[in-house]
């Protein structure tokens, strides 16, 4: 399907949201769940277990693929290779780098944690009702987060509002592209087969919403408790999906 066929624009001025979107594209951190949960629970959990997890699962295909994204010299297992890879991972985590290999490893470790009942995802109380309302209205609901698709799915499968997977149609991560690049949102619209002008993107990060708007989407800023304050005259700012 070509760009013109579904109404793509090279750029767009952000518009008011007084219209009916066919699709809702959602961020996770600071949008459907508190940033603090990710940084204070999930990240430390993955860091604490990373070395042992790599040692035990070194040759498992998803781990091997993630390893090689992080360090091409980590093909063969050795304690030296493990130490070097762990050092690289810790450095990336310290800098909060959105590395695809790192996100894949974190997601695999979190999957074990969720399965063991170590935690559940604390989504905001307005999220599940909104997802159900939008789903009932026939809207496509998708997630776009820097966390891997696998991590996103396990996150929304184990929430304090139950399993939200049945309410969601698609998941996108940094394999699609950087969240601050308009091209990423163009690619998402093409994948969804929905014109950008019929997609509403909600995120707590202004630069992400601006990028989505440049791809032709509508944008809204999520002002949740604990989020950094966003000053903007371009986009509507909301504190609830209600």
Q: What is the CATH number of the domain that holds 70?
A: 1.10.720
50 and 145 share one domain: no
Domain of residue 202, residue span: 4-33+121-238
Q: How far are the Cα atoms of 29, 31, 77, 240 from residue 133, in angstroms, in the given order?
A: 21, 17, 49, 14
Cα four-point dihedral sign 173, 175, 179, 183 = negative
Can you spell out the DSSP letters for 2-55? Answer: -TGGGT--S------S-S--SEEEE-SBTTTB-HHHIIIIIHHHHHHHHHHHHH
Instruction: Check residue 7 and give its pLDDT.
Output: 40
Are residue 143 and residue 170 in the same domain, yes or no?
Answer: yes
Q: What is the pLDDT of residues 200-239, one digit of tens each?
A: 999 999 999 999 999 999 999 999 999 999 989 999 999 9
Instruction: Give this prediction's pTM.
Output: 0.85
Same domain, 128 and 214: yes
Burial class (CB in 10 A: 0-12, 13-18, 19+), 201: buried
| Residues 157, 53 within the same domain | no
22 lies in the same domain as 133: yes
Q: Which of 64, 98, 115 is the last residue in one of the domains?
A: 115
Looking at the structure, do residues 229 and 136 belong to the same domain, yes or no? yes
- Split into its structural domains, the chain has a count of 2
Task: Identify the pLDDT of residue 19.
Answer: 58
Same domain, 167 and 205: yes
Helix or strand (DSSP H, E) at 80: helix 79-94
Q: Where are the beta strands (DSSP E) in the chain?
A: 23-26, 140-144, 170-172, 199-203, 218-222, 236-238
Residue 113 burial (10 A CB sphere; 0-12, 13-18, 19+): middle
All residue ranges of the chain with pLDDT < 50 are 1-18
Tokens standing for 22? 């066919």
Neighbour count for residue 206 (Cβ, 10 Å): 18
């Amino acid at each position: 399907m070509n760009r013109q066929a579904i109404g793509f624009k090279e750029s767009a001025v952000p518009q008011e949201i007084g219209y009916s979107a066919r699709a809702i594209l959602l961020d996770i951190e600071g949008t459907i769940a508190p940033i603090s949960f990710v940084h204070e629970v999930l990240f430390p959990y993955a860091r604490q277990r990373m070395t042992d997890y790599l040692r035990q699962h070194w040759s498992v295909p998803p781990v091997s693929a993630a390893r090689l994204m992080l360090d091409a010299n980590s093909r063969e297992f050795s304690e030296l290779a493990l130490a070097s890879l762990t050092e690289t991972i810790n450095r990336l985590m310290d800098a909060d780098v959105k590395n695809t290999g790192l996100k894949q490893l974190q997601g695999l470790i979190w999957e074990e944690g969720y399965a063991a009942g170590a935690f559940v995802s604390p989504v905001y109380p307005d999220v599940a009702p909104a997802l159900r309302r939008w789903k009932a209205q026939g809207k496509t609901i998708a997630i776009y987060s820097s966390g891997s698709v696998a991590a996103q799915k396990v996150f929304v499968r184990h929430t304090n509002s139950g399993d939200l997977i049945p309410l969601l149609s698609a998941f996108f991560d940094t394999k699609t592209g950087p969240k601050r690049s308009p091209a990423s949102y163009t690619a998402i619209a093409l994948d969804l087969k929905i014109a950008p002008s019929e997609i509403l993107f909600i995120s707590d990060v202004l630069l992400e919403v601006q990028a989505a708007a440049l791809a032709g989407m509508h944008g809204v800023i999520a002002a949740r408790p604990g989020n950094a304050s966003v000053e903007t005259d371009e986009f509507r700012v909301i504190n609830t999906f209600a």
